[in-house]
Amino acid sequence: MPVIVDQHMRERITHEAALFPISYFENELSELPNWEGPLHWHPDFEIARAEIAALDYQVGQKHILLQPGDSLLVNGNLLHGVRQIAGDMPDPLPAIVFSGTLIAPETSTIYQKYIAPIGDCGSLPFIVFRRQDDWCGEIHCLLDEIFTCLKQRTGCYEMVVQRGLNRLLECLFRRFDALPKSQATRIQLRTQVRVQKMLSYIYTHYAEPITFTDIAEAASISRSEAARCFHEYMDCSPVNALIRYRLQTAHRLLHDASLTVQEISAACGFRSANYFGRQFRQIYGYTPGHVRSLER
C-alpha cells in the first residue's frame, strides 16, 4: 500500500487494534512513482529493511545508504522518506511502525526505564543495522522472525512479535552508550519545524491555486528563508515541492479508471491539462496516458 499522509504530514498509520499498536508494510515502493516515498513523520518507531536493492533513506537532513540486508530504525516525530537508487525491480522494503506501548504502558517502570530513553533521545534520530556488523546479528534474526510473523499471522503471532521487539529494544538499551549519536543544532530543529509547517500547508491546499508566498507564510517566514529550508531538506524550491506532490497525487489517481485525465489534472491543482501532461512527462519520463494504459 502507498504511503498516505494527513494534512499534518503525519503518515496515516491504521493499527488494527489499539491494544496491539503495530502495523506491517511491504511492497510500498512498487506503488510509488519512481519508487520514491514522500517525506512524512509519525510519533511511532519505524524499522525498515532493504532486501534486494540499494535505498536512500532520508532522516531529517541526513541521507543513509542501505544496501541489501541492512535495516534502519527511525525514531518518532522525525521527517523521513525513502528512495530506491539502484536495482531493476522495486525493493519489497518490509517495514514495521510501532508504539513503545506495545511493550509496556507509558506509565510503567519498563517504559520509563528502558523505552523512553531511546524514544526521547534527541541525539538518536536513527540507528543503522548493517548486515556485516557482528553486533547486529541478533537484531537481524529478531527482525526476520518479526516480519515473518506479521506477514503470515500464524498462531500466537502477537506474542512472538511482542517478545521479539522486547528483546530488540533490550539489545539497544544495553548498547545505548555505544550507539552513534548526532545532536541536531537549534537551527536544524527550527528548520525542520518550518519545513513541517510548509509541507502541511502544501498537503492541505495542493488542489487550490497557491503561491510561493502562501507556502512561506504558512511558517511565518520570508520567501528567501522558505527557499533555504526546502533546499536543505528536499533540494528543490517550495514551488517544485508543490508540483512534485501534485504529480504524486495525480499518479495515484490515474489508477482510478472512473476519472478522466482532465478531471485528475484539475483535482490536483493544475489549471491546464497540457501543462499537467508536460510536467508529468518531465518528472516520470512517460505520459499520464501510459499509466492509464497499464490499467487496461
* CB neighbours of residue 4 within 10 Å: 12
More confident residue, 128 or 292: 128
The dihedral sign for the CA sequence 167, 173, 178, 182 = positive
CATH T-level topology, domain 22-178: Jelly Rolls (2.60.120)
> Is pLDDT at 296 greater than 50 in this prediction?
yes
What span, in angstroms and rounded, lies between the C-alpha atoms of 253 and 234? 24
Model confidence at 210, in pLDDT bands (50, 70, 90)?
very high
Q: Please report the pLDDT score of residue 167 as a whole number.
A: 98
CATH T-level topology, domain 186-294: Arc Repressor Mutant, subunit A (1.10.10)
Percent of the chain with pLDDT strictly greater than 90? 78
* CB neighbours of residue 237 within 10 Å: 16
> Is pLDDT at 64 greater than 90 in this prediction?
yes
Contacts of 137 (CB under 8 A, 6+ apart): none
Question: Once rounded to an integer, what is the mean pLDDT over residues 141-157?
Answer: 96
Residues of the chain with CATH 1.10.10.60: 186-294
> Is pLDDT at 3 greater than 50 in this prediction?
no
What span, in angstroms and rounded, lies between the C-alpha atoms of 254 and 173? 46
Contacts of 211 (CB under 8 A, 6+ apart): none
What span, in angstroms and rounded, lies between the C-alpha atoms of 135 and 153? 28
What DSSP line would sit under 7-49, residue for residue? TTSBB----SBTTB-EEEE-S-GGGSGGGBPPPBB-SSEEEEE
Contacts of 5 (CB under 8 A, 6+ apart): 11, 12, 38, 40, 203
What span, in angstroms and rounded, lies between the C-alpha atoms of 251 and 287? 10
Q: Please report the pLDDT score of residue 185 as a whole number.
A: 83
Tens-digit pLDDT profile for residues 151-191: 999 999 999 999 999 999 999 999 999 999 988 888 888 99
More confident residue, 18 or 286: 286
**First vs last Cα of the chain: how many Å apart?**
20
Q: Please report the pLDDT score of residue 19 as a whole number.
A: 78
> Is pLDDT at 267 greater than 60 in this prediction?
yes
Bridge-based pairing state of the strands 95-98 and 45-49: antiparallel
Q: Please report the pLDDT score of residue 37 as a whole number.
A: 87
What span, in angstroms and rounded, lies between the C-alpha atoms of 10 and 6? 6
Tens-digit pLDDT profile for residues 194-204: 999 999 999 89
Residues of the chain with CATH 2.60.120.280: 22-178
Name, of 12-21, 179-188, 210-219, the range with top average pLDDT. Answer: 210-219
Instruction: List the beta strands (DSSP E) in the chain.
Output: 22-25, 45-49, 55-59, 62-66, 71-74, 80-84, 95-98, 126-129
Q: Please report the pLDDT score of residue 204 as a whole number.
A: 92
CA angle 162, 167, 168 (to 5 degrees): 95
Q: What is the mean pLDDT of the chain?
A: 91
> Is pLDDT at 6 greater than 90 in this prediction?
no
Model confidence at 33, in pLDDT bands (50, 70, 90)?
confident
What span, in angstroms and rounded, lies between the C-alpha atoms of 259 and 141? 46
pTM summary value:
0.85
**141, 130, 129, 104: which is closest to 119 by C-alpha?**
104
> Is pLDDT at 16 greater than 80 in this prediction?
no
More confident residue, 83 or 3: 83
Q: Please report the pLDDT score of residue 17 as a whole number.
A: 52
Q: Please report the pLDDT score of residue 31 as a whole number.
A: 83
